Amino acid sequence: MTPLSRRSAPRKRKTFYITTPIYYVNDIPHIGHAYTTIAADVLARYKRLRGYDTFFLTGTDEHGQKVQQAASKKGLDPQTHADRMVVAFKELWKRLTISNNDFVRTTEERHKQVVQQVLRKLQATGVLYTASYEGWYCLPDERFWAADEVVEGKCPDCGRPVERISESNYFFKMSAYRDRLRRHIQQHPEFIQPESRRNEVLGFLDRPLEDLCISRPRARLAWGIPFPFDPDYVTYVWVDALVNYISIPGYGTDPRRFAKWWPADVHLVGKDILTTHAVYWSTLLMALGLDLPKTLFAHGWWTVDGEKMSKSRGNVVDPNAMAEEYGADAFRYFLLREVPFGQDGDFSKTAMTTRYNSELANDLGNLFSRTLTMIERYSGGVVPKSHPKAVKAEDRRMVAVAKSLHRTVGEEMDRFAFHRALREIWTLVDFANRYVEKNAPWDLAKESKNRARLDVVLYHLAETLRSLAVHLFPFMPTTAQRMATELGWSTSLEQALKPQDFQWGRLKPGRPARKGSPLFPRIEPPQRIMVQETAAPATPSKEMVMESTSAATSFISIDEFRKLDLRVGRIVAAEKIMGADKLLKLSVDIGTETRQVVAGIATKYAPDQLIGKSVIVVTNLKPAVIRGIESQGMILAAGDKTVEALATFVEPVESGMRVK
Ligand code: MSP
């Protein structure tokens, strides 16, 4: 081999193996299931885009008491029940554009065989024993609890009554691995994330660790994988389920494939099932002599309109309905943008609509449609050339922002900080919106001497949108594809996206660009609040004053603050409202559109004084109807009961610019 060919020998591609929990088929999927699967999909797509050979696994957990009970309630045998229920999961994943590479069902032969192999191996290693056990058993959770864990006869986890059960079973010597597991967690800070959860697990391991009961007598529960060496028992459903993470990539059946994927890079789980993963799974892997997954990431739980989600409350969020109402991409976006991954969050249609209208329809959608309209109007529908001589510093700044996303988004994705990754992407969206205002292509188009500059501006906008499509692809694949197609760049991102596409300048001039329907048509907010006629948005009402006084005693996080979409608005028209001497009706240009705002400033300002003033507008405030007039935002002013002065700016600023 010559040195040259040695140098050019292909390097092994980096691999990435990611999993979701496998979901019980006792009921149809809800927002919690969708959340983990969407997060895993975004990471899988992102890693593929970065050039990783990626394996993304999800599936269903079909054995055990819960499923057996759900089946018998319907008068079905458990397999028929599972066969029907699994369809709902598979169809939902299709609808949410989930790109899993495999789908495991624990009732499949390929999985059952490996579970039996695992049991044989554990038996041969001498880590199993039988014992008669008497304890408090929680039927829905399918687990025993120690006497001191039971709270007034109820399960400490789900609060339902526990039963006293006595039976002989197989046990796994889990207790023997406590110290090793603790050491592993201490030495690998990335193993359990977020850090608060890691501390919880370490706290759990401070107490003595019990052995794990891994069988169920067939006489009590028949719906499970039979013990290979004892026909009287079936496998405890959690052991059965956890093994999916190794059975599918080939443990015990395909050593080469298994060596390629194991250890998994990340198991994504909800916080409620972290212990089973961090403790049961890790110790089982240790007993099998296998490496532990690199990371277990536990995300938080969603409440709905501030309440716990439950069937009895009737507030279970159906992901299908959300995809129908807002589109799969917007739903994906919202779940990952709204709440830092790892923390609990609240779902509401109001919050969903607000983000949809302000960030997707306004910021991104308008930028895209304006740009394409201008390319059609001023450049004959083809992407123009960028002329180096007409490039200005601000163009270079936008290019720099676009290029920096590769690093900044990457860092946030590596930390599972999806909301911050999206925020980074929006710095480019915001920059581009300001760039449109500042360069006013519609003015440049008026004189032919500006042709070169106009081309540069339009090219930079088109290329910025292409770059946005690349970064957005993992989050919103359908939207990204539409952007790529309409920009005349690529019709098959799924197959064709490459790491090089992160570079600037991939969009070739001369390609036809065609505008389609809006990416995110505006949505009516779910309900309107009627504001008291006397309360004008610019003067705080009694309730608002009370709210702000109580808010003064508690801090809000920077993320809460960022929920406010504050923008520079230019007052373009103002008039009195008949019969309301405190109110003015304003038309305020916020860059992407003109908003009608009703403000209680008439005692301080005459309409004429206000024209041309730049003010601060809260653009994502729920619209309110005041004196029969819709107010689509609020402007900020100083003053308590009466307005003393409008908040404005020291320097001239463009409409639409974000106020932070
Ligand atoms: N079958 C087990 C997992 C076995 S993995 C080897 C299981 N299934 S489950 O269907 O009950 O739940 C799956 C996931 O849904 C869990 O990660 C859980 O955290 C998540 N969620 C259930 N309700 C949720 C919310 N309200 N919010 C967010 N996630 C929630 O457990």
- Residue pointed to by tokens 């501030």: 306
301 CB within 6 A, ligand 1:
yes
Query: Is-cis flag, bond preceding 340, omega within 30?
Result: no
Among protein residues, the one whose CA lies closest to atom 27 of ligand 1? 301
24: CA distance to ligand 1 center in Å?
8
Q: What is the 3-state secondary structure (H, E, C) of 235-256?
A: ECHHHHHHCHHHHCCCCCCCHH
Tokens 């400033």, residue located = 601
Q: Tokens 């109001």, residue?
A: 350
Q: Closest Cα to atom 7, ligand 1: which residue?
A: 23
Calculate how far, in angstroms, residue 23's C-alpha sits from the geometric centre of ligand 1.
Answer: 7
> Does 241 sit in the ligand 1 pocket, CB within 6 Å?
yes
Q: Compute φ and ψ for 588, nearest 5 degrees.
A: -120, 125
Beta carbon of 35 within 6 Å of any ligand 1 atom: yes
What is the pLDDT confidence band of residue 548, given thresholds at 50, 70 and 90?
very low
Give me ligand 1 centre to Cα 335, in Å. 16
Alpha-carbon dihedral of residues 90, 94, 96, 101, nearest 10 degrees?
Answer: 80
Is 50 exceeded by the pLDDT of residue 448? yes
Mean pLDDT (the chain, rounded): 91
Q: What is the pLDDT of residue 411?
A: 98
Alpha carbon distance 647, 105 (integer Å): 60
* Whether the Cβ atoms of residue 466 and residue 508 lie closer than 8 Å to each other: no
pLDDT over 80 at 528, yes or no: no
The finding on whether 309 has its CB within 6 A of some atom of ligand 1 is yes
Say what the pLDDT of residue 264 is. 98
Query: What's the gap in Å between 309 CA and the centre of ligand 1?
Result: 13
Helix%, strand%, coil% for the chain, nearest 5: 45, 20, 35
- DSSP E strands in 305-361: the ranges are 307-308, 345-347
Q: How many CB atoms lie within 10 A of CB 133?
A: 15
Confirm or reject: Cβ of 22 under 6 Å from ligand 1: yes
Is residue 103 within 8 A of residue 247, CB to CB? The reply is no
Question: Closest Cα to atom 13, ligand 1: which residue?
Answer: 23
Q: How far is the CA of 604 from the centre of ligand 1 (A)?
A: 56
Preceding amide of 10 cis, omega within 30: no
pLDDT of residue 303: 96
pLDDT band at 655 (very low <50, low <70, confident <90, very high): confident
Give 296's contacts (C-beta < 8 A, 6+ positions apart). 191, 192, 193, 266, 267, 269, 274, 277, 278
Give the closest residue (by CA) to ligand 1 atom 10.
23
3-class secondary-structure state, position 392: coil
Ligand 1 centre distance from Cα of residue 492 (Å): 33
DSSP string, 158-221: T-PBPEEEEEEEEEE-GGGGHHHHHHHHHH-TTTEESHHHHHHHHHHHHSPPPPEE-EEETTT-
Span from the CA of 34 to the centroid of ligand 1 (angstroms): 10
Summarised one tens digit per residue, pLDDT across range 205-241 is 999 999 999 999 998 889 999 999 999 999 999 999 9
Q: What is the average per-residue pLDDT within 293-309?
A: 96
In the reported structure, the alpha carbon of residue 22 is separated from the centroid of ligand 1 by a whole-number distance in angstroms of 8
What strands, in cross-sheet order, belong to the sheet with 580-589? 594-599, 580-589, 566-577, 614-618, 634-635
Give the count of beta carbons closer than 10 Å to the beta carbon of residue 25: 28
pTM of the model: 0.79
* CA-to-CA dists, residue 61 to 23, 76, 113, 480, angstroms: 5, 17, 15, 33
| 296 within ligand 1 shell (Cβ under 6 A) | no
Task: Using the mean position of ligand 1's atoms as its centre, give its distance from the Cα of residue 270 in Å.
Answer: 6
Is 426 near ligand 1, meaning CB less than 6 Å away?
Answer: no
Look at the alpha carbons of 192, 90, 473, 333 in this order and tell me if their dihedral is positive or negative: negative
CB count in 10 Å sphere of residue 379: 21
Q: Is the pLDDT of residue 536 over 70?
A: no
Instruction: Decide whether any atom of ligand 1 lies within 6 Å of the 242 Cβ.
Output: yes
Encode pLDDT of 563-577 as tens digits: 888 999 999 889 988
- Predicted confidence band at 142 (pLDDT cuts at 50, 70, 90)? confident
Q: Is 318 in the pocket of ligand 1 (CB under 6 A)?
A: no
Beta-sheet strand order (sheet of 226-227): 215-217, 230-235, 226-227
317 CB less than 6 Å from ligand 1?
Answer: no
Query: Is 272 near ligand 1, meaning CB less than 6 Å away?
Result: yes
pLDDT of res. 11: 67
What is the structure's pLDDT at 451? 96
Q: Which whole number is the average pLDDT over 144-149?
A: 87
- Closest atom of ligand 1 to 277 CA is 6
CA distance 273 to 175: 19
Whether 243 lines ligand 1, by a CB cut-off of 6 Å, is no
Q: How far is the CA of 649 from the centre of ligand 1 (A)?
A: 49
Atom of ligand 1 nearest to the CA of 302: 27
Angle at 533 between CA 528 and CA 538, to 5 degrees: 85
Instruction: Specify the residue for token string 């925020």.
Output: 423
Residues 623-649 pLDDT 10s: 887 887 888 899 998 887 778 889 988
536 compared with 289, residue with greater pLDDT: 289
What is the C-alpha to C-alpha distance for residues 378 and 341, in angstroms, rounded to an integer?
43
Ligand 1 pocket test: which of 18, 24, 271 has the largest number of ligand atoms within 8 Å of its C-beta?
Answer: 24
- Decide: 252 in ligand 1 pocket, CB within 6 A: no
The predicted pLDDT at position 220 comes to: 85
Instruction: Please tell me the residue having the least CA distance from ligand 1 atom 24.
Output: 32
State the number of CA atoms in the 13 A half-sphere of 264 facing the CB. 31
Dump pLDDT digits (tens) for 384-429.
Answer: 999 999 999 999 999 999 999 999 999 999 999 999 999 999 999 9
Residue nearest to atom 19 of ligand 1 (CA): 270
Rounded distance from Cα 33 to ligand 1 centre (Å): 6
The model's pLDDT over 37-82, given as tens digits with 9 standing for 90+, comes to: 999 999 999 999 999 999 999 999 999 999 999 999 999 999 999 9
Percent of the chain with pLDDT over 70: 93
Contacts of 210 (CB under 8 A, 6+ apart): 146, 174, 175
